[in-house]
């Protein structure tokens, strides 16, 4: 739970990319608790390539958007939801300004973005060979210019990610940099 929601410097951003059913979601849901245990506040973003109905048409928040609101928020004890209207498929840079209160943003998808990527491969997948790939997660060993982690070695993946960050979230004397992109 993120207690201090005041804007911080830009969060680190890592995109987990790969083909459908490669294990990206499973990897992220095992990785998030480890990052939280290490003191990081975490946001997760899932890119869905097709139109999707996120809200219920009979609910007030949906009706607000239908009436023309650009942003509609539903707030309840313990959680909130923010619906943001876009007239196109939103780029990751469109979403990130809403996530300024966290240390790291883990994205599932956005393989064409400028941000650092960890490619997740299912057993028989061939690599996508994308720009800014910093690691690969695969059940089979791979030769290459970037580290390769077995998906069951989640602690090693968490250590790799936290090692990429220049800042321990408990140490305010260091700056972790902006967005971990190659072109900030």
Structure tokens at 173: 């004397």
Q: How far apart are CA 19 and CA 109, in angstroms?
A: 9
Among left, alpha and beta (phi > 0; psi -120 to 50; other), residue 147 is beta
CATH C-level class of 12-48+89-164: alpha beta
The number of beta carbons lying within 10 Å of the beta carbon of residue 4 is 8
Give residue-wise pLDDT tens across range 100-147: 889 999 999 999 999 999 999 998 888 887 889 999 999 988 888 899
Give residue-wise pLDDT tens across range 98-112: 888 899 999 999 999
Residue-range domain boundaries for the chain: 12-48+89-164
DSSP character string of 13-48:
EEEEE-STTSSHHHHHHHHHHHHHHTT--EEEEE--
Structure tokens at 138: 């695969």
Burial 80-112 (b: 16+ CB within 10 A, else e): eeebeeeeeeeebeebbeebeebbbbbbbbbbe
Q: How far apart are CA 106 and CA 44, in angstroms?
A: 5
Give residue-wise pLDDT tens across range 43-76: 999 998 777 666 777 778 778 888 888 888 888 8
Average pLDDT over residues 24-53: 90
pLDDT band at 2 (very low <50, low <70, confident <90, very high): very low
Q: Find, among 96, 107, 119, the residue nearest to 178 by Cα.
A: 96
| CA dist 53 → 67, 74, 76, 90, 143 (Å) | 16, 16, 20, 15, 41
């Amino acid at each position: 739970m993120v207690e201090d929601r005041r804007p911080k410097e830009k969060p680190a951003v890592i995109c987990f990319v790969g083909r459908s059913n490669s294990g990206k979601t499973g990897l992220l849901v095992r990785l998030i608790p480890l990052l939280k245990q290490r003191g990081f506040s975490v946001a997760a973003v899932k890119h869905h390539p097709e139109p999707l109905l996120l809200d219920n048409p009979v609910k007030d928040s949906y009706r607000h958007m239908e009436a023309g609101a650009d942003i509609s928020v539903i707030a309840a004890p313990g959680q909130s939801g923010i619906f943001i209207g876009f007239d196109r498929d939103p780029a990751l840079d469109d979403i990130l300004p809403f996530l300024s209160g966290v240390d790291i943003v883990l994205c599932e998808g956005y393989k064409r973005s400028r941000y650092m990527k960890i490619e997740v491969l299912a057993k028989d997948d061939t690599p996508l060979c994308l720009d800014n790939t910093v690691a690969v997660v695969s059940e089979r060993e791979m030769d290459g210019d970037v580290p390769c982690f077995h998906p069951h070695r989640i602690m090693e993946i968490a250590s790799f990610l936290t090692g990429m960050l220049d800042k321990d979230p408990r140490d305010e004397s260091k700056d972790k940099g902006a967005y971990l992109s190659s072109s900030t």
